Chains A and B, each alone.
Chain A
């Protein structure tokens, strides 16, 4: 995955540069592209996990193509990653509906899902996303995320976040069980030197539940350090 990232980043960066050149002055809705790496961090756990969560999009006010990617790697290599490629269409002032494919990978196996998601800004300024997944085994997954930005100062920003995954079926290859699979809660404190570059410290708590716990018993609190950046 790391080599994939190494290969992918320049391509994405080129995309950003190209679309900036395509910019036509005066038009109200020029094509734009951006890469946002929300989380790019090292955890202080026994594996010294390196985790990332980011997105890239190219598009217009109402229509965009998104790539989402998150995952974790250790010195052993990739632990897991979840990747999505979706078309996103604005359906309400604060909400986008998204459809596409998702691709999960761990050290041993990979699975492709069809995906339908809703993403947007909920009342009280919660950045939220809910993705419904369906794969060829007939397994249905639901992945929920919510995040809030609390400004301690104009540049010092505290971000609590919560993620939960559910599945209807057990999948030994992906090492997930049915029902509530895992919850991850995080708290990150970043300092925006500029909007585009903000190092942070944080703490994350992750726990697996049900059968997932049999495959992968996790109940871990880790401190972390990372950097959030976009361009």
Chain B
């Protein structure tokens, strides 16, 4: 099983057409499974070092079966899968099945689910597949995910899906750096804006002076200057060191998804990046989003969607003309993009559209009450009536949790609001129809779901200057586990006291996101919490054992992490 192939950007084009269940599926020949797709009940995965060359420079990756991304695993809902994972690295390793509902010892988090997989050893995972849709897997050890250890999981449904399509492609987005992850982390600790080449300049200030006059320009900066925060701090690690990959391909080699005119194409997007949030669009095509984090939603047609680290979205597109369309995924801070082509023929490649200009963060991202700020500062800010009063009004017994303040947190969101209809920084008022969390409605009714028994409030906290991240001001190393009670329905409210988006991932149990309609709570495994905002979801605590709960940005994770114990 052990293979040491030279993984090049151009090497792997994964064309997964394994689950076409549409009306034409029977008449069309299915795409031949390439080496990148493994289907069945028993799998052998080998973790090993692999030489790669994404940038023109040779580097060493940690890869699964010699591929980046690792092979797409195709499972069948209802079956029991057995996966033998052998670690050929010199260090301990692991594989976590992201978003999969399974027994705690199979979850693959070293220190919580098990001890990890020691060098030279094989661990056999075995569990029943109780769900269907698009998921993924990745290493949960050290920084191995950054260096190539991630892959897609496609679970074929027992029952026919409520939408039709002819072809099916899996697209794992990721970020590659030739730098060692430990070196990236060290640089962030020494100088947190090391990778940010979109900082405010003197010129930016003077152009504001030109627009609004010195006094106004100066006073508008007051809040940022006194708080020592940057409105340009969108992403910690950028295209300065990252090459963005679309299913293992650089923008130069391009991922290719083939179509025939008139076909409906299902694209399964997975954000397997370490640190990069992507904004995805296919210029010239509308995308109908049919699933979020593997779960069916009421279809919603958009031009663009933001995909937080570890989220997945399934979209269906219908190319109308015989031309190559760009599958364009620009990173949130607009320092680069991943690119592929949706094309009638593999030699016809699309050109990348121009990247958007980065937008600065606003006072809302700082958790300020925009209505108040607007009146105080005389800002012209068209205020929509606040839509989320019903969510604010929900009251459940709150279990108090330990909180700490100190050098580890810089900011407190003064007036955090539910901002589900806010597409987020960089996507606001861009003239395109952008998916927001307010659009996400469970395809099926959740009317009969239990109401929450109690609520916990978790503040996402940090100090960007010192590059420290924590929950409730307490980092993982100093924190006691969170106790969930088996059988309860728990409401979790996040308040983001930082200026960054944090994709929060609860292992083992679903996060039923409150997106404005309690009868259609959308079911997610990873929830992107916008800076300065508040968001709530409900968790049915139906999985015994110990679970990980953390920010999925790799360099935030060690601090912004909790162990959850279900008792």
Contacts and interface: CB of A to CB of B under 8 A. Distances in A.
Nearest to B559: A28
B127 interface: no
Given A25-B181, A28-B475, A32-B190, A124 B226 contact: yes
A146 to B, nearest CB: 14
Contacts of B468: 28-29, 61
Contact of A152 (B91, B203, B466): B203
B540 interface: no
A125 B221 CA distance: 12
A26 B143 contact: yes
B198 A93 contact: no
Main SS class of interface, B: loop
A94 B181 contact: no
Contacts of B182: 20, 23, 25, 30
Contacts of A151: 199-202
Contacts of B477: 27-29
A34 B190 CA distance: 8
A152 B228 contact: no
B189 A124 contact: no
Contact of B410 (A27, A91, A94, A125): A94
A95 B463 CA distance: 12
B186 interface: yes
A152 B202 CA distance: 5
B201 A62 contact: no
Interface in A1-30: 20, 23, 25-30
A153 interface: yes
A91 B407 CA distance: 6
B143 A28 contact: no
A93 B463 CA distance: 7
A124 B225 contact: yes
A138 interface: no
Given A151-B201, A151-B202, A26 B558 contact: yes
B44 interface: no
A61 B141 CA distance: 22
B444 interface: no
Interface string B155-199: 000000000000000000000000001100111011100100111
B-side interface size class: 35 or more
B469 A153 contact: no
Contacts of B201: 151-154
A222 B262 CA distance: 74
Given A20-B186, A61-B468, A27 B225 contact: no
Contacts of B463: 93
B141 A92 contact: no
Contacts, number: 91
A230 B558 CA distance: 26
A196 to B, nearest CB: 9
A92 B467 CA distance: 14
Contacts of A23: 182, 186
A82 B200 CA distance: 34
B476 interface: yes
Given A90-B407, A154-B197, A28 B558 contact: yes
Contacts of A230: 190
B465 interface: yes
A94 B465 contact: yes
A150 interface: yes
Interface in A124-148: 124-125
Contacts of A30: 182, 185-186, 189
A111 interface: no
Contact of B198 (A29, A62, A121, A154): A154
Interface in B187-227: 187, 189-191, 194, 197-203, 225-227
A195 interface: yes
Which of A25, A62, A95 has the most C-beta atoms of chain B within 10 angstroms of its own C-beta? A25
A158 B189 CA distance: 24
Interface string A188-202: 000000010000000
B466 A90 contact: yes
Contacts of A34: 190
A34 to B, nearest CB: 5
A91 to B, nearest CB: 7
Interface in B408-446: 408-410
A93 B410 contact: yes
A93 B466 CA distance: 8
Which of A26, A61, A91 has the most C-beta atoms of chain B within 10 angstroms of its own C-beta? A26
Contacts of B187: 195
B142 interface: yes
Contacts of B408: 61-62, 93
Given A25-B181, A93-B407, A154 B199 contact: yes
A90 B476 CA distance: 19
B460 to A, nearest CB: 15
Contacts of A153: 201, 203
B226 A61 contact: no
Contact of A25 (B143, B199, B410, B559): B143
Nearest to B144: A25
Nearest to B187: A195
A25 B200 CA distance: 32
A93 B409 contact: yes
5 contacts: A26-B143, A30-B185, A34-B190, A94-B228, A151-B202
